[in-house]
Amino acid sequence: MPRITLIEHNGASHEVDAETGKSLMQNAVDNGVPGIDADCGGACACGTCHCFVESEWLEKSGTADAMEEAMLGMRPDRTDLSRLSCQIEVTEELDGMVVRLPEFQM
Ligand code: FES
């Protein structure tokens, strides 16, 4: 199981032994990590699963498609590290990945 670290805006860190084949969002929710609302349940339609992927993990986490780009475009706190965690599929390759969570989901 790849171990992924999610760090809340307040610095609280959560290590998750993630299940492959599921999204990062689903793994975070299943493990009770606060800071991801996931209002649409992973349909790439709400933007409330926003996260910032540490730069060294960006490439391995994949590339946002047009729909994810459109959703991210509505986030005023978007940065070059922004992804929607429901669109990141957990693979063994992501073992050790670190993502940070925004101050608010909106
Ligand atoms: S859970 Fe709604 S966009 Fe990711």
- Say if 37 falls within a structural domain: yes
- Say if 106 falls within a structural domain: no
Nearest to 83 by CA among 47, 52, 37: 52
Q: How many domains in the chain? A: 1
The residue segments making up the domain with residue 30 are: 3-100
* Ligand 1 center–CA 100 separation, angstroms: 16
- Say if 105 falls within a structural domain: no
- Say if 14 falls within a structural domain: yes
Asked if residue 28 has its Cβ within 6 Å of ligand 1, the reply is no
- Say if 50 falls within a structural domain: yes
Q: Output the pTM of the full model.
A: 0.96
- Say if 26 falls within a structural domain: yes
In tens, the pLDDT along 15-50 reads: 999 999 999 999 999 999 999 999 999 999 999 999
Asked if residue 84 has its Cβ within 6 Å of ligand 1, the reply is yes
CATH of the domain at 91: 3.10.20.30
Q: How far apart are CA 103 and CA 106, in angstroms?
A: 10
What per-residue confidence (pLDDT) applies to 106? 82
- Say if 29 falls within a structural domain: yes
